[in-house]
């Protein structure tokens, strides 16, 4: 799973193996080790909720998707992404995009192996 961020926006990109783990376990996560016992975790998880949500605690960013939304997205060949705005305060929100990973034009065969190349027109 890849993580990208810019001001007030995050994106999670999941490869085929990530989607398979997500379907099986209801969660997929990975982390970055900064040394000195500092680790940043990012996770996609299903939850018994009605709207997508975001949580950040214990150095872990968790994007939570409602169970049925997550199942539909993971199983669909037509729905490649989920986008939502998560309110973070007065007149502020975090833009969240969760998407299936597609091959990169300049990526190596190894980098593109776990992507959704068959969904490209």
Domains and their CATH numbers in the chain: 2-108 (3.30.1360)
Q: What is the pLDDT of residue 35?
A: 92
- Tokens at 52, concatenated: 């997508």
- Beta-strand ranges (E) seen in the chain are 2-6, 9-14, 27-35, 38-47, 53-57, 60-66, 81-89, 92-100
pLDDT score at 29: 96
If the chain, 121 residues long, is cut into consecutive pieces of 10 residues, what is the mean pLDDT of each piece? 94 94 96 94 97 96 97 92 95 95 63 55 55
Furthest C-alpha separation in the chain: 46
């Amino acid at each position: 799973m890849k993580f990208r961020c810019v001001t007030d926006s995050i994106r999670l990109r999941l490869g085929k193996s990530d989607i398979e783990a997500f379907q099986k376990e209801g969660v997929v996560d990975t982390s970055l080790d900064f040394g000195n016992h500092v680790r940043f975790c990012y996770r996609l998880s299903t939850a018994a909720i009605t709207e997508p949500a975001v949580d950040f605690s214990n150095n872990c960013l968790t994007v939570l998707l409602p169970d049925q939304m997550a199942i539909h997205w993971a199983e669909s060949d037509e729905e490649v992404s989920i986008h939502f705005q998560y309110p973070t305060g007065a007149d502020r929100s975090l833009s969240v995009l969760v998407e299936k990973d597609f091959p990169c034009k300049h990526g190596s065969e190894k980098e593109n192996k776990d992507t959704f190349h068959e969904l490209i027109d």
